Amino acid sequence: MKTNSLFIIITLLLASVFSGRAQQANNSSLTQISTAPISHAEKITFHSKILDEKRVMNIYLPESFHDASEDHTYPIIMISGSHGVKFFQMISGVVKHLSSVTRMPEAIVISFDEEKHYAPNVYTNGMWGSTEELEFNADPDQFVKHLKEELFPYLKKQYRANGYRMIIGVSGSSVFPLHTFAKEPDLFRAHITVASADMIGMGYQPNTTFIDAFEESFIKNPNRKGQLYLGIASSDLKGKKQQYQNNLDELKKRLAPFQSKNLMLKVETIPNEEHYDCIIKAMLSSIEMIFPIEEWSPKFRDIIKQPGNALENIDAFHQKLSTMYGFPILPKAERWNSVNSLRFIGGKLLKDGRIKESIEVFKRRVEYHPKSPWAYNSLSEALEKDNQLKAAIEAQQKAVELAKEYDNQYVSEYQKQLSKLKDKLEK
């Protein structure tokens, strides 16, 4: 009886609480109609034969991935180790924004849900006080084999990943990126490490460091390429951390002879920041190093002012960029609130009376975004201005079809335009 009485009392109390909340909601001027999750990424579980284990991967895909043509391929940005999942959303957000304003390419971001660090055991050389060795007890060579033979081919096949790859390591998760920079220089084109001034002073053997391994790698292969960024918070250098500053100075001194067109190195202290807090500023700084604005960000208005054909000039700019980075970089078909896209520059060409060139640009836009009713509608408008009425009608019909399938909002508008074109052709 006591148990039943207690259950009744608890039930009444809970009912009172929820009734009060419901009453508060009813009294509010805001009425909640529905909720829906906002999806920015996927979680993929697969089995690796090479590692003989289940792997769980988080993957962010560019916004244009599902709408863009097969011509579009994407670099991979891999966040290393168990720190990866902690920073996955933030890094994905930075990549999403910067790529949307053409400050870097659209990219795939991946991290792993794992406690295990696939990194070599390293000797701390006094960097962590009395700790003599960091034992990860995992085989980094097997992990590299897994990346080369399983994961990267899978991403290429399923998600159009290209061969340009970047890796990011934060604090203790920097050991694997430092290892690949030293031992697997072709696995990633760019290595970004944050809060790792202590790690570079550690090494494969006692009294050796990653700095030694880097120097040895460049001496053996002076033509190897690499991009290495190391950012550290100012707070990490306070107190008795002079050895960390010594590591940074030694890294810059030892790699200075190799800084040419093959090695890009940036080592910086980020002021007024704490150990993990500095990662956003470090990300912005490292991306500016890898994709500098003066080389990367196109100015379409200036490009089409140059002598020659507008689209050919736009292609020439992006071909030069593609050669520089080693993967196809295409003109951006769509870009919100900016003239630096095929969508906007096609409209400018049309407005300026360069109708033939406008048609070429809009045809390319359709090629890159074949599911876009808006792209076909713009092409139809340009074709009409060129008195190609039959072609304009065909493009407008396609706009109507795609709008019915993907964007009902503009169906009636596109249908009205189609009727006007047909009437105009009959007359």
- Contacts of residue 352, defined as CB under 8 A and 6 or more positions apart, other chains included, come to none
Q: pLDDT per residue over 229-245, tens digit each? A: 999 999 999 876 789 99
Q: How many CA atoms lie within 13 A of 184 on its CB side?
A: 21
Q: Which band of pLDDT confidence, cut at 50, 70 and 90, is reported for residue 82?
A: confident
User: Three-state DSSP class for 245?
Assistant: helix
Q: How far apart are CA 301 and CA 10, in angstroms?
A: 70
What is the C-alpha end-to-end distance of the chain, expressed in Å? Answer: 92
Q: pLDDT per residue over 366-380, tens digit each? A: 999 999 999 999 999
pLDDT > 70 in the chain, percent: 93
- What are residue 417's phi and psi, to 5 degrees? -65, -40
Mean pLDDT value of segment 123-127: 93
Residue 185 has pLDDT above 90, yes or no: yes
- The one-letter amino acid at 315: D
- In the prediction, which pLDDT does 18 show? 45
pLDDT > 90 in the chain, percent: 78
Pairing of strands 122-123, 133-134: antiparallel
- In the prediction, which pLDDT does 26 show? 53
Of 123-137, 316-330, 345-359, the least confident: 123-137
Of 81-85, 274-278, 410-414, the least confident: 81-85
Q: pLDDT per residue over 3-35, tens digit each? A: 444 444 434 444 444 445 444 445 557 787 888
- In the prediction, which pLDDT does 240 show? 60
- In the prediction, which pLDDT does 331 show? 96
Write a three-state SS string for 116-129.
CCCCCCEECCCCCC
> Which among 79, 89, 84, 64 has a CA at the least distance from the CA of 342?
64
- In the prediction, which pLDDT does 11 show? 45
Of 9-18, 32-41, 243-252, 261-270, the least confident: 9-18
> Which among 318, 323, 326 has a CA at the least distance from the CA of 298?
318
User: Three-state DSSP class for 272?
Assistant: coil
Are 304 and 313 within 8 A, CB to CB?
A: yes
Q: Tokens at residue 298, please?
A: 């196109």
